[in-house]
Structure 1
Amino acid sequence: MTTQTSDQQGADGGGAGATWGQVHRADSWRRLAAEEFDVVIIGGGVVGAGAALDAVTRGLSVALVEARDLASGTSSRSSKLFHGGLRYLEMFEFGLVREALRERELMLTKICPHLAKPVSFLYPLSKPLIERPYVGAGLIMYDSMGGARSVPRHKHLTRAGALRLVPGLRRDALVGGIRYFDGQVDDARHTLTVARTAAAYGAVVRTSTQVVSFIKEADRITGVQVRDVETGDETQVRGKVVINSTGVWTDELQRLSGGRGRFKVRASKGVHLVVPRDRITSESGIILKTEKSVLFVIPWGAHWIIGTTDTDWNLDLAHPAATKADIDYILDHVNRVLAVPLTHEDIEGVYAGLRPLLAGESEQSSKLSREHAVARVAPGLVAIAGGKYTTYRVMGADAVDTAAEDLPGRINPSCTADVPLLGADGYRALVNQADRIAANHHVHPYRIKHLLNRYGSEIHELLALASADPELWKPLPGADEYLQVEALYATTHEGALHVEDVLARRTRISIEYAHRGTETAPRVAELMAGVLGWTDAQRDQEVATYLARVEAERRSQTEPSDSSADQVRRQAPEIRDLLVSPVA
């Protein structure tokens, strides 16, 4: 099998900047050391990637560094929704809802229609008379604010109508229902695509690159010292302004810079469960109001995602651990309305993420604002935190607007509302041609549609790889939904450096299968080894480290408390050799 794809693709330059192979990685290190950038961004979550795309499309030179992998924190562990936040209407955060609905519409129609899709939710009504007009009024407002532009308006249903839509509900759990629509997205794939789009426009985007200190001249931040986590090499990255977009690590990075922040960030843990689609009989997602917040049952291919919790977290920021209590909380609440209750044996996957909330004095985390804040915390240093995944583009633009104070001259206005992500252009035409493409490559049309909804018009790059080696058309072991070519492409084009990167973020095998990727890891390691030049010992170590991660996560999910779960989760070895004072 030919494995020179990454080298053949070349380094940065034009559209080739979106191809992240070994040559690209070496060239990006050279550029970090050699150039002075207008903007240096720390943090490869969706906000950092969004800021990089915003800045580079304004004509600025941009470098983004991430200590781990793109979307390795909060941005791969969300509820995977582009939504306006229906419950924020109760908090009178009308501006936030209107802004989020505008962004949702952009994602569904213009920016990434290959990744973002409409999703239906049923709101079961449990109280006669009073609840329907109250919830209905909120949904009228939701639709009028922009919630019903490219998706249907909400619709009132009788109990019989609601049960036809969601037969899996207990009959005595509702007196009727209201159906409405929002949007959903694979958050990790979307974040990756935002970053790759920024690279295609000329930004330097480099993972496994940890900030270890700030460079100062007098009282001004003029760059960062970074360390290649894979090799231990260090270099300086000069920039006219540095943007801290590290989410729950915002305060830690601020301390590293030697200054005080303008705001505090509190980490709130959200846990989600993944169960097979056949465990809940329904043609729609479900939204349930709880005593603390809301609980979503979200359609996710052949699965359901159920969550989330909302509790303070003060332990390991890199690996928040779900506890048995978290899992029991979700099961207890969803089982109150299901005709056939879910059990622990039904659970395929569990994941926990941390929301970076702007901290109040004594507010409960579920009551903290999801609005974001951006501030120039020191000359040459801007910080941004808070917000929602849905509004990442606005957050990125606000960060760059604030950074403009440290840039000479006048910068161009943001244009990312009109910049489609990689794979969006031509996507709809390719969907219409899916059957013909499938016939040409002798694969089932389902496979082509699967690839189109993950890669859009970038599918041609995967087709080229698989045409050179038909073995790549086979599914990955233990993960029938994913093809072997996807694991190879993740390594040659998408910057995956470790087995975990492929199983947890380039694909979602780590949460979508009961084995959580353990059956798939050896073959993924073989595919990656041919590209990355691993020895047999390195390949075996990658697999062993991934298996240890899964085992630690499983054990932590049987623990009764955050502290005991955290202790167990920390026992898994780290595949990336970060320094002790980690910055995201």
Structure 2
Amino acid sequence: LQQADIGLVREALQERGVMQRLAPHLVELYPFLFPIYGGLAERAKLAAGLTLYDALALGSGAPRHSWLGADATRRLAPGLTMNGLDGAFVYRDAQTDDARMVVEVLRGAVAHGAVVVNRVAMREVTRHHGTVTGAMVEDTVTGETTSVDAPVVVAATGVWLERLVRPRTGQPRVRPAKGVHLFVPLDGFPADAAVYASTTRDRRLFFIVPWLGVAMLGTTDTPYDGDLASPETQASEVEYLLEATSRAFPSVALKSSDILSTQAGLRPLVSTETGDDRATRTLSREDRVWEAEPGVVAIAGGKLTTFRHMAQRVVDLVATRLVGPKATGPAVTRQRPLAGFARPMSGVEYTAWREGALAGVEAGRARTIRSMLVTRYGAHFRAIESLIDGDPSMGGPLSPNDPAVQSCRAEALFAIRHEQAVSISDVLARRLRVSLLTHDQGRAAACDVASMFASERGWTDGQRADALREYESDIAQFAVPGSPRTPIDKTPGWVAPVMGAGALTSAAVD
């Protein structure tokens, strides 16, 4: 709304409602608290914006915004600075576990006939006499390459788009924008509401959001021209967010040593102007779909919230190019639920379904596990429970020393067997988020996961040790800049290779 992208906000709110019905276990409406310290003028300005937001959200199922006085705000966010506080607006937005959402979309695609392959990279578009014939792809695990024949190639490669598609005059350009999040313990922050705060230096808004048992702080928004494969969090960015968070929640007294992990990512923002040097925070988050050349459809920009509608428009353009202008019909994905649900569900219907799924499970560890699995896997939860039924040790915590990590060992085994995980990072960073939620970035859990891979894939002790070292390299991106790190081979549970030993033997070392 700040950028006057009314159409984009409307689309995002409507798509949020669609995804609430298709994946109700993963898309949760959450109260967002917007404290007001600036008196009547700021309050009136924000009230007008939220009234427009409510109007755009009509039909999405979200309640209208409301106003809380200072005392009510203090009760909802007791650690929030009260100096000059008038009160706070509360509106509803949604949050999700994006890693689980991606996996569920891929599982749904496979169920409807798609071929999905992990660790395969598209290296180039292939052509014959100037006509697109498909793509050359590489298995990044084995290094083998092969060609895939296709009359139309979709380049949905984010910030890497211009490595595959050379922009032509008048076509959109990709502007990488870097965003950094910090993950810290939830202690001292609201557990049931997200809070808007502003940075001290440039008065930019950012969020403090309870997420998967921790607090997520961010994000930043700066232009980026470095290595696209490995953006890193800088010490100055950590200081920037810590300073702003401490200003909003002085009682927490947050320090760099409190940070569990950091994450830096890149947004593929779109600009249509050559040499555009505007601040990335002023660029629209609108997506663009276009035919970069005959036979190559490109997409860039956009938001996670609108991914389904973005994909719909891509497929419509591909169908038009393959069949003709009358090839498309109503989008069936608006009614295709994810995660094994039989039909789309309203919030009330999902609550009733969830209560039924938990019925008869006694309080204690079994109910805790069932509740967690239902929240994470929807109607697929029974597949993970069956692993625990076969081996009760699979119900144990994946990271016993980190209470915020609620994942059980069976989830890691399920990812290895059924979700195309081929590395420890695939499990702990891209399926279960353990790498972000623990002080050691999942090092202790990595040893357990490596043993599961060894059992499932026949890894030798040498392969297991190599995989753990690879994980050590992978998680360097999540570490706090300048913080000391415990080498993976000094982590409890590390298993060193044994000279001359059989494929599945090992020797534990301290």
TM-score greater than 0.5 by the shorter chain:
yes
Match of 1:308 among 219, 230, 235: 219
* Residue equivalent to 2:71: 160
Alignment pair present for 1:422 and 2:339: yes
Distance change >3 Å, CA 380–CA 261, structure 1 → 2: farther
2:355 is aligned with 1:444:
no
**Are residue 411 (structure 1) and residue 296 (structure 2) matched?**
no
One-letter code aligned to 2:390: A
Alignment correspondent of 1:120: 31
- Separation (CA, whole Å) in 2 of partners of 1:216 and 1:405: 21
Letter of the 1:389 partner, please give it.
L
How far does residue 380 in structure 1 lie from its aligned partner after superposition? Answer: 0.7
Matches within 5 A, 1:276-295: 276-281=185-190, 283-290=192-199, 291=202, 293-295=204-206
State the TM-score, normalizing by the size of structure 1.
0.76
- Based on CA coordinates, which of the two structures has the bigger radius of gyration? 2
- Tell me whether 1:352 sits opposite 2:264 in the alignment: yes
- Matches of 1:282 and 1:486, distance apart in 2: 25
Contact residue 3 and residue 284 of structure 2 kept, 8 A: no
1:29-57 Cα shifts (integer Å, max 9, x gaps): xxxxxxxxxxxxxxxxxxxxxxxxxxxxx
Relative to structure 1, the CA distance from residue 173 to residue 483 in structure 2 (aligned partners, 3 Å threshold; closer, same or farther) is farther
1:274 matched to 2:196: no
Aligned to 1:241: 152
State how far apart, in whole Å, the 2-side matches of 1:333 and 1:148 are: 36
Describe the superposition over 1:317-342 as per-residue Cα deviations: whole angstroms up to 9, x where unpaired: 12210011011111111221213131
Q: Note the 1:396-545 alignment, pairs <5 A.
A: 396-409=311-324, 410-413=326-329, 414-425=331-342, 428=351, 430-436=353-359, 438-439=361-362, 443-478=365-400, 479-480=402-403, 481-545=406-470
Aligned-partner Cα distance in 1 for 2:482–2:291: 40
Change (3 A) 1:550 1:301: closer
Separation of aligned partners in 1, 2:4 and 2:483: 38
Contact 2:194 2:210 in 1 (8 A): yes
SS of the residue 2:387 aligns to: helix
Task: Summarize deviations over 1:541-567 as a string: whole Å, max 9, x none.
Answer: 1111212333465364669xxxxxxxx
Structure-to-structure mapping, 1:189-200, within 5 angstroms: 189-200=100-111
Q: In 1, distance between residues paired with 2:160 and 2:4?
A: 29
* Equivalent residues of 2:263, 2:478 under 8 A apart: no
Aligned to 1:180: 91
Q: Which amino acid aligns with 1:475?
A: P
Secondary structure of the corresponding residue to residue 433 of structure 1: helix
Partner Cα separation in structure 2 for residue 156 and residue 129 of structure 1: 13
1:94 aligns with 2:9: no
CA contact 1:167–1:282 (8 Å) conserved in 2 = no
Aligned partners of 1:125 and 1:177 also within 8 Å: yes
Give the Cα–Cα distance (whole angstroms) in 2 for the partners of residues 499 and 157 of structure 1: 46
1:170 aligns with 2:86: no
d(CA) in 2 for partners of 1:149, 1:374: 25
Which region of structure 1 is more displaced relative to structure 2, 243-252 or 472-481? 472-481
Q: Closer, same or farther in 2 for the Cα pair 1:170/1:556, shift >3 Å?
A: closer
Match of 1:30 in 2: none
CA distance in 2, matches of 1:168, 1:147: 33
Counterparts in 2 of 1:552 and 1:401: CA distance versus 1, 3 Å:
closer
Q: Tell me by how many angstroms 1:498 deviates.
A: 0.3
How far has the Cα of 1:514 moved from its partner? 0.8
Give the TM-score of the pair, scaled to structure 2.
Answer: 0.87
Give the whole-Å Cα distance in 2 for the aligned partners of 1:555 and 1:347: 7
Q: Deviations over 1:197-223 (max 9, x none)?
A: 011100001111122222212222110
8 Å contact 2:34–2:197 — kept in the other structure? yes
Paired amino acid for 2:301: G
Residue ranges of structure 1 left out of the alignment (5+ in a row): 1-88, 560-584
- Deviation string, structure 1 residues 500-539 (Cα, Å, up to 9, x no partner): 0111011011111111101110001111222222222111
Q: CA RMSD in A?
A: 2.2
8 A contact 2:233–2:477 mirrored in 1: no
Task: Please say if residues 477 and 523 of structure 1, whose CA atoms lie closer than 8 Å, have aligned partners that are also in contact.
Answer: no
Deviation of 1:260 (Å): 7.8
User: Could you say if the C-alpha distance between residues 216 and 292 of structure 1 is closer, same or farther in structure 2, counting changes exceeding 3 Å?
Assistant: farther
Q: Does 1:104 align with 2:16?
A: yes
Distance 1:147 1:453, change over 3 A: farther
- Distance in 1 between the 2:174 and 2:303 partners? 14
- Residue identity (%): 36
> Residue deviations 1:445-464, cap 9 Å, x none?
12111101110000111122
Give, in whole Å, the separation in 2 of the partners of 1:314 and 1:167. Answer: 40
1:213-252 CA distance string (max 9 Å, x none):
2221222211011111112222111112110000111111
Which amino acid counterpart does residue 393 of structure 2 have in structure 1?
A: E
> What is the DSSP-based 3-state SS (H/G/I as helix, E as strand, rest coil) of the residue aligned with 2:209?
strand
> Which runs of no fewer than 5 residues in structure 2 stay unpaired?
344-349, 485-510
